[in-house]
Amino acid sequence: MCGIVGYVGPKNALDVIIGGLERLEYRGYDSAGVAVIADGQIRVTRAVGKLENLKKSLEDAAVPAVPHLGIGHTRWATHGKPSETNAHPHSAGKVSLIHNGIIENYMTLRADLEREGCIFRSDTDTEIAAHLCNRYISKGLDLFNAMKAMCAEIKGSYAFLVIDERYPDRIVAAKNSSPIVLGIGAGEMWVASDIPAILGSTRQVVILEDGDITEVRANTFRIEHDGKEVERTPMTITWDPVTAQKGGFKHFMLKEIHDQPQVVTDCVRGRLRQDVGSVELPELPPTLLKEVQRVLFLGCGTAWHAALLGKFYLESLARIPCEVDYASEFRYREPVLDARTLVVAISQSGETADTLGAVDVAVKHARTLAICNVLGSSLSRKVESTVFTHAGPEISVASTKAFTTQVLASYLLALVSAEQRSMINKAKLAEHTHAIALLPMAMQAAVATESSVREVARRFQTARDFLFLGRGLCYPVALEGALKLKEISYIHAEGYPAGEMKHGPIALIDDKMPVVMVVQRSPHLRDKAMSNLREVHSRDAQVIAVTDTEGDKELRRYAAEVIEVPFVSDLLSPLILTVPLQLLAYYVAVLNGTDVDLPRNLAKSVTVE
Ligand code: AGP
């Protein structure tokens, strides 16, 4: 998510804001900007790229007087490519506004505002908020009530900060789903997206809640919720600055595992039509999936595992023949491609050299699509269209929230494809959208297995080999669990199709090898999985079962440990079943003392072959 810093008080607001944004740099961003009020005038400076570029532009802009109020932003692009024009703050009239989140109905609002004569300069969703705010102030509302009226029109997630030179002593902010904290000082106040931005200045903070709107001045602040004034008790933050960057978690990986209920919500935001029970991917050419006869998924590492699930989804829902290939293999095997083939490249960073090289081959002969987390990435600029996962910056080398949102995005793609190819009826589609709406709660419950998974990790932390088994949709989950464990704990772990055990790997089984068995309740595979479980159990394996079935007595008879997650639907179980495996890898690694976020020999984005 983007970084936000606002300040009002006796200090130079520019220094405070830039300092705060620098403390949020670790989160990743692609452009930055500030708006300050100096000498009764708003001055806006923006720059693409790093804060150094913004500071250079500020020197050139030479703000005349010392500003004591302002807002600043580091942007992680969600709508509109990284550029100075798309950087925040966005202005309209005397208003300057910054925003974290996604405005779902911005196209409709933009059309209305354009009909009223508003001129738009960016292709962001945020700019409509500046025009809306300005419209209400022009109608006679003050800054606070203009924000209220604006938020009443907006659907989506937001942390808004707005200033107006007609109100030079205050910042107004509004929160829904994206975080805002108030920092309380003596005769000065901060407003930020994250605690690290203000920790160097104050430890007294107020955490805003969804629906809060606040007006902040140097010596006071007030908060309204549902039209009524509310008190929010300040809390004292005891974190050190490094811990604060991880939201209080010990490692970015654990923070990002915990982010998953939120990011699956962000991934489907604006794409799920609960009212009509359908799914929309407006970024897709409307008949793309109708025109192609075959889909070829590409990826590396975790992205390749997500591609395996994408194949399941597309074949079972849209009945399109699919293949999955490692990008590093595809690019050198002279693949058979034509205009009726769609190559879908999956990548968190959009900068993986093997994936980019594979797409360079694909674009010559086939249609292309990406599932990617980073707007403006090389991959998203090479393909015809991109479905962005909106997982926010993923800092830890081990991919967690990127994986679950890649899988979710491929599921949405499969549903849209099924509808385009008339392979699914409205009733069935509504079942799928209902299941997706339940996903965030199920992911939260899966994250809540943390303490029991930590005990399992403690029990098996000295093992030197692990086997991860799964059938059907659980097979890619087993592969992903094995990859997580090996890449951060350096313990050898292998993912395998459970049905393949009897063709060799079962020779490995003994009482020293923990076997993680991923079992989902879908009837036609559960019985097979149970017979595989009995096979390994009879050879003294220590079985750790991860299942979406509650209170499965048979499972408990053969497994030394059972971790249960909620069932939402067969197709969504892989996302939920993955979470305990991420936690298992994390805690085994922590117990083994490895560098969880920066494991040896690995890079977050493998930009070399
Ligand atoms: C996943 O935990 C690994 N860090 C690695 O396998 C990663 O998934 C792979 O390098 C692909 O990266 P990408 O998604 O950025 O293309």
CATH number at residue 74: 3.60.20.10
For ligand 1, atom 16: residue with the closest CA: 347
Are 182 and 313 within one domain? no
- Whether ligand 1 lies within 6 angstroms of the CB of 347 is answered as yes
Q: The tokens of 470 are what?
A: 């799964």
**Which among 251, 606, 607, 609 is the best mutation to test ligand 1's pocket, defined by most ligand atoms within 8 Å of the CB?**
606
Distance CA 295, CA 469 (A): 27
In a domain, 64, yes or no: yes
- Whether ligand 1 lies within 6 angstroms of the CB of 599 is answered as no
Digit-coded pLDDT (tens) for 473-517: 999 999 999 999 999 999 999 999 999 988 988 999 999 999 999
Distance CA 288, CA 303 (A): 22
What type of residue is 274?
Q
- Whether ligand 1 lies within 6 angstroms of the CB of 397 is answered as yes
Q: What is the CATH classification number for the domain harbouring 506?
A: 3.40.50.10490
Asked if 304 and 278 touch (Cβ cutoff 8 Å), the reply is no
Asked if 346 and 371 touch (Cβ cutoff 8 Å), the reply is yes
Atom of ligand 1 nearest to the CA of 605: 15
In a domain, 21, yes or no: yes
Helices (H) and strands (E) in the chain, counts: 20, 27
In a domain, 605, yes or no: no
Residues in the chain: 609
pLDDT, position 265: 95
Distance 304 CA to ligand 1 centre (A): 9
SS3 content of the chain, % helix, strand, coil (to 5): 40, 25, 35
Are 468 and 413 within one domain? no
Are 127 and 253 within one domain? no
- Whether ligand 1 lies within 6 angstroms of the CB of 302 is answered as yes
What type of residue is 447?
V
- Say yes or no to pLDDT of 158 above 90: yes
pLDDT-derived band of residue 242, with 50, 70 and 90 as boundaries? confident
**Which among 304, 375, 399, 479 is the best mutation to test ligand 1's pocket, defined by most ligand atoms within 8 Å of the CB?**
399
Mean confidence (pLDDT) of the chain? 94
SS3 of 303-335: HHHHHHHHHHHHHHHHCCCEEEEEHHHHCCCCC
pLDDT, position 309: 98
pLDDT, position 299: 97
Q: How many percent of the chain have pLDDT more than 70?
A: 100
Are 352 and 415 within one domain? yes
Distance 309 CA to ligand 1 centre (A): 16
Out of 8-12, 117-121, 314-318, 349-353, pick the least confident: 349-353
Distance CA 195, CA 200 (A): 9
The stretches of 494-572 forming alpha helices (DSSP H) are: 523-537, 553-558
Are 249 and 233 within one domain? no
The residue among 28, 29, 27, 33 whose CA lies nearest residue 14 is: 33
Distance 604 CA to ligand 1 centre (A): 7
What type of residue is 138?
S
Atom of ligand 1 nearest to the CA of 397: 4
Q: The tokens of 195 are what?
A: 């605690």
Are 383 and 466 within one domain? no
Q: What residues are paired with 6 via a beta bridge? A: 71, 191
In a domain, 601, yes or no: no
In a domain, 608, yes or no: no
CA distances from 400 to 7, 263, 339, 566 (A): 34, 11, 34, 19
Distance 305 CA to ligand 1 centre (A): 10
- Whether ligand 1 lies within 6 angstroms of the CB of 356 is answered as no
Distance 606 CA to ligand 1 centre (A): 8
Distance 601 CA to ligand 1 centre (A): 13
Distance 358 CA to ligand 1 centre (A): 15
User: Which residue among 396, 411, 444 closes a domain?
Assistant: 444
User: Which residue among 215, 238, 261 closes a domain?
Assistant: 238
Give the angle 426-430-433 at the CA atoms, nearest 5°.
Answer: 140
pLDDT-derived band of residue 82, with 50, 70 and 90 as boundaries? confident
- Whether ligand 1 lies within 6 angstroms of the CB of 352 is answered as yes
**Which are the catalytic amino acids?**
2, 604
pLDDT-derived band of residue 275, with 50, 70 and 90 as boundaries? confident
Pairing, β 189-192 against β 228-230: unpaired
- Whether ligand 1 lies within 6 angstroms of the CB of 578 is answered as no
The residue among 407, 402, 350 whose CA lies nearest residue 380 is: 350
Range of the domain at 548: 450-591
Are 386 and 463 within one domain? no
pLDDT-derived band of residue 240, with 50, 70 and 90 as boundaries? confident
pLDDT, position 602: 82
Distance 608 CA to ligand 1 centre (A): 13
The pTM of the full predicted model, rounded to 2 decimals, is 0.84
Are 461 and 411 within one domain? no
Are 96 and 147 within one domain? yes
Asked if 331 and 361 touch (Cβ cutoff 8 Å), the reply is yes
The stretches of 238-351 forming alpha helices (DSSP H) are: 241-245, 252-258, 260-268, 288-291, 301-313, 327-330
The residue among 177, 134, 138, 136 whose CA lies nearest residue 155 is: 177
Distance CA 394, CA 392 (A): 6
In a domain, 282, yes or no: yes
Q: What residues are paired with 46 via a beta bridge? A: 33
- Whether ligand 1 lies within 6 angstroms of the CB of 301 is answered as yes
pLDDT, position 1: 63
In a domain, 213, yes or no: yes
pLDDT, position 603: 79
User: Which residue among 210, 238, 266 closes a domain?
Assistant: 238
In a domain, 603, yes or no: no
Digit-coded pLDDT (tens) for 432-476: 999 999 999 999 999 999 999 999 999 999 999 999 999 999 999
CA distances from 260 to 40, 149, 276, 408 (A): 43, 31, 26, 11
pLDDT, position 7: 98
- Say yes or no to pLDDT of 215 above 80: yes
Q: What residues are paired with 396 via a beta bridge? A: none
**Which among 352, 372, 582 is the best mutation to test ligand 1's pocket, defined by most ligand atoms within 8 Å of the CB?**
352
Atom of ligand 1 nearest to the CA of 399: 2
- Whether ligand 1 lies within 6 angstroms of the CB of 316 is answered as no
Are 214 and 274 within one domain? no
pLDDT, position 28: 79
- Whether ligand 1 lies within 6 angstroms of the CB of 598 is answered as no
Q: What's the domain count of the chain?
A: 3
- Whether ligand 1 lies within 6 angstroms of the CB of 606 is answered as yes
Neighbours of 295 (CB within 10 A): 27
Place of tokens 């590409």: 298
Atom of ligand 1 nearest to the CA of 406: 14
- Whether ligand 1 lies within 6 angstroms of the CB of 303 is answered as yes
pLDDT, position 606: 79
Are 15 and 157 within one domain? yes
Are 277 and 138 within one domain? no
Distance CA 150, CA 362 (A): 45
pLDDT-derived band of residue 372, with 50, 70 and 90 as boundaries? very high
